[in-house]
Structure 1
Amino acid sequence: MKPAHDAPPDLTARLTGEHHQALKLWLRMLACTTRVEATIRGRLRATFGITLPRFDLMAQLERHPDGLRMGELSKRMMVTGGNVTGIADQLERERLVVRVADPQDGRAYMVKLTPLGRTTFAGMAAVHEGWVADLFRDIPAADKTKMIALLDSMKRHLNDNDD
């Protein structure tokens, strides 16, 4: 019988030496990201009754106190404008965000956190940071530093090769 603490096999477990190294890397990164994201999603819902996309939208607005246009939020969150509109509508009903006229273009609107939204997000963000730290607690600091540097290099490479 398999011990309970063993993780289920992921796609990379099925790869052989014949598979390209880049594919192995991609699938390993995806498997790790998916596991972390699933854990965070579940904890956000159970602890705060909020979805990850709603948390992400609030995180973007927290970094931009003057607010962001819907199109900019959509680009930053890598989701459609319709998704951002739906999330903003929900948060606005809860008085966590407000839409304000864009000072550069009176026809456009920006979304920004309300004081309640700032306070609410600050509490969630502190707990979220603790969860992430806990998920990575057994990885030595030197390994985390090395992985950050490698992923920074990969991001630069991918950005340089954007079409």
Structure 2
Amino acid sequence: MNDVAPSSDDHATPDTEKQLTHVRADGSAHMVDVTAKSETTRTAVATATLRTRPDVIDMIFAADLPKGDALPVARVAGIMGAKKTPEIIPLCHPLPLGKITVDFERGSECVVISSSVKTRGVTGVEMEALTAVTTAALTVYDMIKAVDKHAEITDVKVLAKSGGKSGDWSV
């Protein structure tokens, strides 16, 4: 079996751009070679929604949960999650993250969690932004499960990205 992964050039041609970049011709997974890519400033914004009852929303935003004040804990957890992304997502490249924000918006029956992640590097930070919002959502869930066992995490998605060869886009 050949353990040599294709170069990044193998994935940049129009004929192959629709192929999966983390899968070799034999079907095995590999980490994409990004050494030839240009370093640019890259950002990504992601969101997740935690749905729960209105009385639990009141407790979350009043810092009145049995486990304590959920939002500051979830913010730090989200930041830590973004920083640990390559440790939990097997083929992600470790990146020097320059800025990570995690914010919470109150809804009547939900908390919308958003994250923005920024780096100067050779690959994007979409996975780091997604990891930040899901880690923060899981932390809020953990802190409210004693008062709402039916809470759910939904609508996890990337809203925007910028930088790199593929350019900018947003939902």
Provide TM-score, normalisation by structure 1.
0.29
More strand by share: 2
More helix by share: 1
Tell which has more relative contact order, 1 or 2 (C-alpha 8 A, sep 6+). Answer: 2
